[in-house]
Every structure is written in C-alpha cells, then in structure tokens.
Structure 1
Amino acid sequence: MKFLPRSIPHDTVTALQEQGLAAFWAQLYAARGIGSAAELDYALSRLLPPASLKGADTAAQWLAEALEQGQRVCVVADYDCDGATACTLALKGLEMLGAEAGQIDYLVPNRIQDGYGLTPSIAQRVHDSGAQVLLTVDNGIASVDGVRHARALGLTVLITDHHLPADELPDAHAIVNPNQPGCPFASKNLAGVGVMFYVLLALRSLLRERGIFTAQTQPRLDALLPLVALGTVADVVPLDANNRLLVAQGLERIRAGRLPVGMLALFETSQRTWAKASTQDLAFGLAPRLNAAGRLTDMTIGIECLRTDDASRAQELAAMLDDINRKRRELESDMRIQAQAIAERLCADTGAHHTQPPAAISVFDEGFHEGVVGIVASRLKDQFHRPAFVFAPSAAAPDIGTLKGSGRSIAGFHLRDALDLLAKRHPQVLEKFGGHAMAAGCSIRQEHFALFQQAMAEIAREWLHASDLQGMLLTDGALPAQARTLEHAQAIGRCVWGQGFAAPLFSEELEVLDQRILAGKHSALKLLHHGQMVDAIWFGHNSPLPRTAHLAYRLEVNEWQQRKQLRFVIEGCEAPAAC
C-alpha cells in the first residue's frame, strides 16, 4: 500500500480562511476541490432547479393527467437500496400530491426470477394488474424491448433513471435521466432516488401553476429527503455539490427525528443512533439491510418497511431485514474465501510468484450465488486493486448455462465503457450489460467465460498503467497536534462525506506503544502522537506491527459506558511487509 498526499492549492486555502474557515478545515476542503465557502452552504434554496432536468416537465404532465383522470400508476423499481428508496419516495410523493387510495401501486422484479429492469414480461404484469401508467425508478434507460412491449399494450411509459444510456434509447412517453443526450442538468451524478425527487418537484410546480396548490397549501416534499439521502449514499454516486446538499438536508431531518418510522426501525436494528446520524450510518448500517433483501429474497420487504406508518410493523420488517442480512454475510464470507483462492491461482498462472495478478480479475464458480456477486467483486477489487468481476450461475436460466456477473472498478477504468468495448470486439460474448464507471453487470453463457476473462484483462492492460494498479490511499498528511481533539472528530462525523468527497484520512509515522488482538481478528493499539498516547483500532488486521509504522487513520468518537473518547481508526500501513 502506498500513501499519496492530496494536492492542497495554497491560494485556495488562504481564500477559504479569509472567508472565515479555520486553517484545519480550509486545508481539508481545498484538497477536495472546494473553492469557496459558499459551496458548503447546503440550504435548500441552492438546489439545482428541476426545470433544467430534461424530461422532468414532460413526465410531470403525464403524471398530472394520471392523477386528474384517476388512472392507475404502477411503479417498477430496481431491487437495490436506491431502487427501494426511489420507489417509496414515488409512492409517498404521489400520495402527497393527490393520488387517491389504491391509485398507486408498485412492482419489483425478482433478481433471480426476473432479472434486471423493465423486461417485456414485467410490462405484461403491469398491464395485467390494471395499471394505465408505468413509471420506472432507477431503471429503464436500457429497456428498449420492455418499453416497446408496454407501449404495444397501451401503457403510458415514463422512465426515471440515472444509469448511462446505450446508443438506442427506449421509445417512452418521457425519459428523465441527467445522463441522456441533450440534458443540460448540471449534476450528472443524481442517484435514481434523486431523479424521482426532481420529478416530484416538477409535478408539484405544475400542479401549483394549475391552481391545485398554492405556495401555502402545497405539500412539503422536503419531508422525503431522508429517503433521498439514504438512496444517494447507498448507491455510491459521486457526492458533487448538489448531491451533498440533498444528503445534508436529509441528515438534518433524520437528526431532528423527522424520518419515516421504517428508517427509524432500521437505525435501531443496526444499533445506530438517528440523533447523530452520519453518512457512515446510512452506508454501513441501513443500506446493507435493505440491499440484502434484494440480493437474497424480495425487496418488497424493504419497500414495505420504508413506506409503512405503523411503528410495530416497521420493527417487525426491520427485524426480518436484519435476519436476511445476517444470512447474506455468512454467504458472502464463504464466497469471498473461494473467490480469493481462485484469484490467487490466477496470480500464480502469470508465473510471477503470486505478485502480479491480471490487470482485471474475473472469477466464476458453479457454487456461487448471484445475489452477492457484486459484494464479492468489491472485496476482490479492494484486495488486489484491480477491476474485478464475479460470475454465478443464473438461477432463472440454469438449464441453458447463463451466468450473471457483477463488476467493481478502480479509478481510471470505466467499467461500462470496458464492457461496451468488449461487446464490440467479441459480439458473441455479452448477452446484455449495463452500469456505471465503477460498477456494472452483465450476462454471458458459461462457455464464453474464459473469453470474457481474457478479453477484460486485455482491455485493462491497454487502459491502465502500472501505477494505476498499485494500491494507493489518498491522505491528508499528518494530523496537527492541536487538531487531535474530540471536538474535531465530532465535527467530521457531522459532515457529508462519500464517493468523490472522501472523509479526512491522515497519515504519518507513529510509535506503537502497545498492541493486542481482539476476537482473533482486530488489533487494539496504543499509539504515540506528538507526545500524547492515543487509542487506536485496526479492524480485520491481526498481524503484529513494528515499533514504528507509517499508518493511515481517520478520527472517530468511541463511546463506551456513556464515555466519549477520541480514537484513531487505522485504514492502512505503507510498508505491508512490516505491517
């Protein structure tokens, strides 16, 4: 592991200090591209206007007509946390804007039985349910055949999505996606839940123009921002200024206790404190429990948990999600061990003494479960610092040898573009694919796995330099002694951090005064920092450290028996051989 200090533009630091920021914060924010203190103003008035999101006005017109005429609307959602929050937001938002009881329903494809997105069979089920309007959330931009079939059935089709479009767009009545051609929306990083939130804003504006609401009587859609924050953080989209605003506003309401009872139940089940909610809590407490339902069972459980107004029902559903998540962790652990063993054999096959894995790693085993291939791919990506794909037999089509694959990438390697190039070079390999720069999925036949493995590694060799394949941690350098305070740790915990706007990570050589192993797998440490002893923890690391070590760490408030104490959480060591 190599540490790379963040570049700090000193002129910007000076400018931020002149605008009132303390030196410590000015350096952190300048290193993350903040040029003005105004960029840290997360007031709702600074939200990008809905009118600039292409298709939002058109979708609003169709939805207004549906509400006025009493047409039934069916929301077709993706089966991950972003999809679940977007679906819940659509249901709650349309009800707030005038939908009658029973007018809005939803359908979530089953990951294993139905596959991803709006397929012709899903469109048929929507039609057979009696709906007249089909509204997708967090999917649909690639559903050319599904939209065609839906329109042939007479359905009005409205697509809200954020995934990158292919060359051919579906022939929907409206498409709302900041990444579609010709969309001037300044933030291309909205999650699916963010796109749907903007559609609701556009609909409310239209209804206000038509005299249905006034500025005084219109519903407060900001009540839905906790859902927007959860889905945005969970989908690991880049936290640009607009996304940070959405997340900050959502967290503000969560901390004030203005959150759905289902989210409250998930906070309690995950043993997190809503009054001090952080992006970490959303990402590692709530999101995995919702995602587990979509991976192993049915995301309907997650959506029902989020949308219910019955606290006891919410607690019951949250407990079910917690149980599913425990099973997911057990399954993931077994698969990860197998996948790592396969990947290590690939390293051996290079003849480089296990030190040089392929530029991209693709693994498959007949015993893998397709519901957790994405998580395992992420683990491989982190361990080997390579783009990684994990494939499992498709439970929906085991007789024809179809494999479902999920990939995770590293900086500098656009995964969906790589799949697109692979499809052009080897048209017979990919049955379908889609995704983002950092995460993507595809389906292939088992007979083509070896070719996929070879072709993806070849593309990675062409696109990535040797330096790209070396594990690196961007750090903020040494922590000043005067900044080593509980107050700084608490303030950092209240800020919005995430993809593309990483939480502060400090690095420096520290003296190791004491170390012991907890539960056989964690290192509890006492470190000397500028003459002061500090407690530290390194999760998942049980190897002894030398007397001095160059460590990367973040600040954390450790609460134990109603006492709060500053703690360093170790994230890496720059000398692996010694660590």
Structure 2
Amino acid sequence: MAQFRWQLIPPVTPPAIFVEQVRRHCGQSSGQFAAQLLWQRGIQSADQLGGFLSPDCYTPTSPWEFGQEMKWAVQRLGQAMAQKEKVTIWGDFDADGITSTAVLWEGLGQFFPQDSQLTYTIPNRLRESHGLNRPGLERLATQGTKLIVTCDTGSTNLDEIVYAQQLGMDVIVTDHHTLPDDRPEVVAIINPRYFADGHPLFNLSGVAVAFKLVEALYNQYPTVPQQPLEDLLDLVAIGLIADLVTLQGDCRYLAQRGIAQLRTQKDPATATRPGIHALLNLCNRNGDRPTDIGFGIGPRINAISRIKGDASFGVELLTSRDTKVCNQLAAEAETLNSRRKGLQKSVIIEIDQRLQNIDLSTTGVVVLTDPQWPTGVLGLAASHVAQTCGRPAILLNTQDGKIAKGSARSVANIDLYALLHSQRHLMLGFGGHPFAAGLSLPLDKLPLFTEAVNQQFWQSYGAQISLDPILAVDLQVKVADLGQDLFREFNLLEPYGMGNPAPKLLLENVQVGRPSFRNIKDRTGNKVSYLKTSFRVTDYPPKTDDDGQVVQCPGVWWGHHPDELPQNEPLDLVVELDFNTYDRQYEVRLIDFRLHQPQGIAPSQTSTNLIDRRSPHAPDQDLSPQGHVLRTCPSSWSELRRAYQQAIAAQQPLVLDYHFLPQCPSSLVAELEAQWHGRETAQLSPLSLQKQWDFSHGLASQILVLIQEYGPALNSGSAWPKALVRQIETLIAEEQFQKQYFSQVSLTPELLATVPDKP
C-alpha cells in the first residue's frame, strides 16, 4: 500500500497588524499560530477576517440569486397552495438527504398541512438506489401527488422525470450533485452547480439548497409561516458538515449559524428538538463544535439507512417533538451505529489484506467486489481505500450474481464523477459528485468496466499521480504548545471542512509511551470490532516544565493496535489537536508517524509552472494539457488567481487552455430575443445561456432577472423595449471586454502569485 509523503506548508510571518487583529479574538494567547494558519489559507485582510470569524460580519446571499429557476419553483409551490394540491418531498437516505427532507418537511409544512397535503418519501438504501424510481413514482401518482419536490437528489433522473410528467406530476429538483448535459424537463431545478466555482453558493449541500428554497418561500409569503426560519439552521449545519462539502462562502455562514442553534439543543431548558438532544447525550457531545456532528450526530443518522435500509425514522427523529418517541428512536440509532462500526471494521480488515496483492504502479482505480460485503458500509470502506492508496476506490457487492452495486470515493483533485461518466454506457445507473458516487452495473460487464475506467484514469491523470499520496502539514509545534491556548486559537477557524481542514501539526523528535487499547463497546456493553489506542506523547528525551512535571499530552489512534506504534523511540508525528468532552482533556489524534528524520520534511511548492495554450501558435501548443486546466475564459483577476491557487494545491502546472472570439452584443441580444419568444421550446435558463453564448453564470442570471423584471408584457411577442435591450447590451459588452483582455494579457507565475484582486 502507498505511504504518505509529508509536505510542510511553507511557514509565513503575517504582518504584525494582522496578528494583532487575530489576537483580539484569542483571549490570553498570542494568536500567532491562528494568524499563520489564516494567512496561509488566504484570509489576509481585516474585512476577510471579520466575515470568516463571525457570521455577524458576513452578508448571506439571497435565495433569489438562483434567478429564474427559484422564481419558477416558488410560483409552482404557490399554485399548489392555491389549488390545495398534494405535494410530496422525495429525499435521500444519507445524513444530507435526511436533513434535507427534514428541512422541507418543516419548512414547506408552514405552507401545506403535513400528512394530508404534504408527505415525504425516501428510497430504501438496501433495496433501492439514490434518486427517483418508477415504482415509487407510480405509488405517489396513485396516492394523488401532483407535485414532487426532490432534495439532495434528482438532477440526473432525466427518464424518471419524464415518466413522472406522464403520470400527471410536476417535479421541482433541489440538489447539489453534478449536472447532466441537458437541463431536466422540470418546473425548476435549483442546483448551485450552475454557478461558477467561486460563487458563494457553489458549495451548498443538499440541505442548504433545500433551506434556500424555504427561505425564498418565507420571503414571498412573509405572513404565512409561524415557525422562525432560523429554527431550521441546526438541521442545515448537521447536513452540511456530515456531507463534507467545502465550508466557504454561504456554506460556512450557515454552518456557523447552525452550530449556534445546535448548541441550544444540549440544555433541556432550551432544547426544541428532543431527538437531537437525545443524540447529543448518547454520544457525549455538547453540540458546539463541528466534530460533534462529524463524529457524533452524523454517523448515527447515517447508520439508520446503512444498517436498517429505511431512513424515514431519521426524519421523525429530527423533527418530532414527542420526547418519549425521540428517546426510543435515538437509542435505536445508537445501536445501529454500533453495528455499523463493527461491520465497517471487519470489511476494512478484509480489504486491507486484499490490498497487499495489488500493484499500485499499474492500478489507477481500485475496484474490489465481494458478495458478502454489506452495501451500507461500502462508502465508508471506499473512503478508507482511497485515502490509503491515494487512488479512487470502487467497492461493489455482487450478492445476487447478476448486478454489482456499491459506492465509490476519490482523493485529491481526481474527478470521480467524470471517470464514471466516461463509462456510463456500461452501467445501469450512477450518480454523485467529483468525490463520491453510487453505481450499479451488470456483473458480466464488470471486467470491461474495470479495464475501461482504469484506462480513462491513466489517460486523464497518469502523469500527475504519485505512488506516495501527499499529506499536507500546516504547522510545526512542540509538545509544550499542545493545550488550551492552542486549541482556542484553532477554534477560531472552525467549522472545519473541505477547503478549510482541521490543522495538521508536525511534532518532531518525540516519543510515545503508556499505550493501551480497548474495543469500543456499544450502549448495551457489547464489544464492537473497532479499536482505540490511547498513549502519551512527550519530547525525546522528555522535558519538564517549571514545576518539574514532564511535559506531555494524551493521544488517541483510532482503528489501530498499540503494537503498531513504536515505543520509547524518537518519532515524528502528524496529529490533530482536539478536546475530549468525555474525559474533559485536550488530546491529539494521530494521523501518521515515522522514525525521526533530522533533516525534517520537504516544504510544499509555493509556485507552479504555467502552460499557455491560449494562442493557436503558442510554443506550448504541442504539449498535452496535463495539469490543472482552465478551459473557460476568465473575466476577472480573482478567477485567474483562484485557478492558480488550485493548481498549487494540486501540485500541478496551470494550463491556460481557453480561447475567446468576441461577438457583437447587439447580435447576441437579437438572438436572445428571438429565443425568448420561442421560450416554450428554448427553456431559457442560466445553463442554456452559458452553453450557447459562453456567458458566465453571473451574466446569465443578471440577464434573466432583467427579462423577468419586464414581466408579462414580454409574452405578447412584440419587440423588447429599447431600455431592456440597452441594459442587456451593456452587460454583454462589459463581459466581452473583460474576456477579450484576459484572452490576450501577458501572464507569468510571478504575476499570478502577487497580483492583487482587481475589479
């Protein structure tokens, strides 16, 4: 198996004024470590700092930023209210899907009577796949449903959406997974993947998208709801953090607000959700940190469908106000999670043995199958394989002998969805996003699929793949630094997630002692096949403090036996600092270790090569575009800098592989006007404008908002008002000018590394 290659992010010395700004938030500590982390992660001004550290200083994005799609969704829901139509929420069975369903159940429940006019359904994880399915649609049609609102699913269910319409049901899709090539034939699709990747809404998970729909309804009908919108934010935080999305922009804001709301559920005097209150007690968490979700609430909600299959009681657990029922449901979730741990561990042990026989020099995508593996834990096991091997992993159950069904996970910058999409003709179905997916395929197609997906992997990523996956290390600290002050500094950066990971700390020349282990037990006292090794870390040799006490820190190593950890030898450790709420102590969580290397570890690259393929006659034109490829012409310096930083993070060259041919704004507006009058077939949307005319999503949304502002008068077929035409021409001309500039401007790595943000 692959071994991690450690790389220390080059240390920086932030300006003294910035350190002082950070220190004001740090209590008694210096703020130096927090300032260094923030500076390394691009938070380098007072304005950025305020919005990052405090949600009070951040301006959340309006739900109407989704443009016409959101307006269509709210309009159709208003019609359903007026005509008293039956509405069904179609959810998904993971934590994001369950919380999404709960948000819509409570949020739409302010506008539709629950159970009579509003219902919800979630596929069974063990018998069905993600997304819409025909038997479920037929059942809803016979029950009188006229409108389906999906959450955390539905974007790629093109055939099923058409079938729903044939059965007399309209569909509104709220989702965040990768988009199909063509817009689904739905009333509206609210999916942040239509935005540019720098947009503050781009990283929303399914529950956050569902929340935005509810927020728009609250804005449209402010006198109807009886429950404050903010009461949904604890559910939003659970789904956001459990789904491991990038916590930037509105994602971070919603997570911060949601954790503040979640904190109130711990105290019986302020708790409004007895189910969450019970879960927090069972996992010995306070609800005030993202780890309380990531290692506490989230796994227990996910375990419901992983083991039981039916996730519907997860929604009841989160939304019921009946304390007795919630206590029973929480206890069952706790038991299911214990069973999940045991199954997961046994599968991983078996997989690790099989990985010993795999040659990673010739394997791009690890594909493993077994008829006995429980499908509910295959996603977790695939994550273990991907992290261990530095490769995408696909784990499949082949129990019925005809169909292979399972989960896939990716690492680094490898787009798993694109790899699977390239082999879609071999599969019965798949869905997901660049880092995680579910799939099924005929068993007799498995050998061809394995060969083809590996071939596609090597063609796309072969030159970039190392046999030693990189472990990025943020800071080097000493054992004496580990404790309350450092934890409080790091706490400023929470909530952690993709794009803002928990700090990885390097401890050089230390030793571990007093290791012990135990099998984790469930709430009934039964052992679970899941190990936890505890130890003490000290300097090598040990040092003492002013009181003569040995400077040490407790540590844990999950899933490992003490025999794997060398004792009383000089070691280098990579750890994360945490607070154990059960033992009430600060401790480190071991990520990786090796024998002490006096020469230290290599710093990561602070710059990257630039391959310019913008001109047909560019000297780099004959090179294959391997690296971080920018194919869309940017319209701002921030877009270019973001692409450059992503290339650095991926340790790849930045390939400028975009071209721009300016067009006459008046001609574009004339074409747009012609299509608008044929909108019954054109179905104008931000995506259609982006694809046809290479508009940015921002420009496409602005155009659709302008058109909408002129209202029904445009439906008559008469010419557009001159004022509207002029406004759209001006918007197009501005973007054309910017893109023309960035298609020709001279660019160097030094310029991209130092140029300030410009309008």
In 2: Cα distance, 1:530 partner to 1:226 partner: 44
Aligned match of 2:407: 406
State the distance in 2 between where 1:551 and 1:436 align: 33
Question: 2:160 & 2:195 partners in 1: Cα distance?
Answer: 21
**Unmatched segments (≥5 aa) in structure 1:** 348-354
Letter in 2 for 1:261: P
2:470 corresponds, among 472, 480, 488, to: 472
C-alpha separation in 2, matches of 1:281 and 1:514: 28
2:572 counterpart of 1:550: yes
Aligned residue in 2 for 1:390: 395
Question: What amino acid maps onto 2:487 in structure 1?
Answer: A
> Structure 2 regions of 5+ residues with no counterpart?
24-30, 266-270, 520-530, 546-550, 599-759
> 1:288 corresponds to which residue?
299
Q: Is 1:433 aligned with 2:430?
A: yes
**TM-aligned CA deviation for residue 183 of structure 1:** 11
Whether the 8 Å CA contact 1:364–1:392 is kept in 2: the answer is yes
Contact 1:42–1:249 (Cα < 8 Å) also in 2? yes
2:161 and 2:125 map into 1 onto residues whose CA distance is: 19
Question: 1:549 offset after TM fit, Å?
Answer: 0.9
Aligned residue for 2:64? 51
Shift, 1:231, TM fit: 0.3
Aligned to 1:129: 143
The equivalent position to 1:569 in structure 2, one of 589, 593, 607, is 589
How far off is 1:341 after superposition?
Answer: 2.6
**Residues 508, 550 of structure 1: 8 Å contact kept:** yes
For the residues of structure 2 that align with 1:538 and 1:207, how far apart are their CA atoms?
A: 51
State how 1:308-387 maps to structure 2 within 5 Å. 308-347=320-359, 356=361, 358-387=363-392
**Pairwise CA RMSD:** 2.7
- SS of match in other structure, 1:113: coil
- State whether structure 2 residue 230 is matched by structure 1 residue 230: no
Q: What SS does structure 2 have at the residue aligned with 1:46?
A: coil
SS at match of 2:590: strand
What CA distance in whole angstroms lies between the structure 1 residues aligned with 2:512 and 2:135? 63
Q: What residue is the counterpart of 2:696 in the other structure?
A: none
Shift of 1:177: 0.5
Equivalent-residue separation in structure 2 for 1:8 and 1:39 (angstroms): 24
Distance 1:336 1:245 in 2: 36
8 A contact 2:508–2:573 mirrored in 1: yes
1:33 matched to 2:47:
no
Q: 1:435 to 1:15 in 2, by over 3 A?
A: farther
Aligned to 2:18: 16
Look up the match of 1:534. Answer: 552
DSSP 3-state at the match of 2:592:
strand
Distance in 2 separating the partners of 1:153 and 1:15: 64
Whole-Å separation in 2 of the counterparts to 1:45 and 1:218: 26
Report deviation, 1:551.
Answer: 0.7
Q: For residue 195 of structure 1, what is the aligned residue in structure 2?
A: 209
Describe how 1:175-194 pairs up with structure 2 within 5 A. 175-180=189-194, 186-194=200-208
Instruction: Give 1:169 shift.
Output: 2.7
Change (3 A) 1:240 1:122: same
Measure how far apart 1:433 and its partner are.
1.8
CA gap 1:155/1:513 in 2 versus in 1, 3 angstroms? closer
In the TM superposition, residue 357 of structure 1 has moved relative to its aligned partner by 6.6
Give the one of 96, 109, 113 matched to 1:95.
Answer: 109
Q: 1:515 — aligned with what? A: 514
Structure whose alpha-carbon radius of gyration is higher: 2
Pick closer, same or farther for the CA change 1:320–1:460 going to 2, 3 Å. Answer: same
One-letter identity of the residue aligned with 1:228: V
Q: What amino acid does structure 1 have at the position aligned with 2:6?
A: F
Distance in 1, Cα, partners of 2:512 & 2:204: 46
Task: Give 2:146's aligned amino acid.
Answer: Q
Q: Are 1:254 and 2:262 an aligned pair? A: yes
Cα offset, 1:491, TM superposition: 5.2
Q: Distance in 1 between matches of 2:251 and 2:476?
A: 29
User: Would you say the 8 A contact 2:112–2:118 is kept in 1?
Assistant: no
Name the CA distance, whole Å, in 2 between partners of 1:260 and 1:32: 36
Contact 1:156/1:173 (8 A) holds in 2: yes
Residue 2 in structure 1 maps to residue 11 in structure 2: no
Report whether the alignment pairs 1:525 with 2:536: yes
CA distance in 2, matches of 1:270, 1:482: 30
State the identity as a percent: 26
* TM-score, scaled relative to structure 2: 0.68
In the TM superposition, residue 469 of structure 1 has moved relative to its aligned partner by 3.9
**Alpha carbons of 1:436 and 1:14: their partners in 2 closer, same or farther (altered >3 Å)?**
farther
SS in 1 for 2:173: strand
Distance 2:57 2:105 in 1: 22
Return the alpha-carbon distance in structure 1 between the equivalents of residues 582 and 486 of structure 2. Answer: 19
Residue 454 of structure 2 corresponds to residue 457 of structure 1: yes
Q: 1:14 to 1:451 in 2, by over 3 A?
A: farther
Deviation (angstroms), 1:308 = 0.6
Deviation sequence 1:10-52 (CA, Å, 0-9, x none): 55x5563364443221111122222321331312861111111
Contact 1:77/1:86 (CA < 8 Å) preserved in 2? yes
SS at match of 2:355: helix
Q: What secondary structure does 1:43 align onto?
A: helix
When normalised by structure 1's length, the TM-score is 0.88
* AA in 2 matched with 1:221: L
The equivalent of 2:284 in structure 1 is: 271
Displacement of 1:418 in angstroms is 1.1
**Cα contact 2:361–2:467 (8 A) shared by 1:** no
- 8 Å CA contact 2:276, 2:318 repeated in 1: yes
Change (3 A) 1:45 1:201: farther
Cα 1:450/1:91, change in 2 over 3 Å = same
Deviations 1:296-324 (A, max 9, x none): 32101211111111111111011111222
Look up the SS of the partner of 1:179 in the other structure.
helix
Q: Deviations over 1:355-392 (max 9, x none)?
A: 74722211001222222211111111122222111011
| Worse-superposed segment, 225-234 or 524-533 | 524-533
Q: CA 1:357 to 1:544, structure 2 compared with 1: closer, same or farther past 3 Å?
A: farther
Matches of 2:362 and 2:356 in 1, distance apart?
A: 7
- Judge which range, 455-464 or 259-268, deviates more: 455-464
Question: What is the Cα deviation at residue 415 of structure 1?
Answer: 0.2
Distance 1:260-1:493 versus aligned 2 partners, 3 A rule: farther
Q: CA, structure 1 residues 464+223, in 2 after alignment: closer, same or farther (shift >3 Å)?
A: farther
What corresponds to 2:645 in structure 1? Answer: none
- Which amino acid is the alignment partner of residue 52 of structure 1? E
* 156 and 422 in structure 1: CA distance in 2 versus 1, 3 angstrom threshold: closer
Change (3 A) 1:513 1:168: closer
Q: Is the 8 A contact 1:232 1:243 kept in 2?
A: yes
- Write the mapping of 1:143-158 to structure 2, written as runs, cut at 5 A: 143-158=157-172
The amino acid that maps onto 1:440 is A
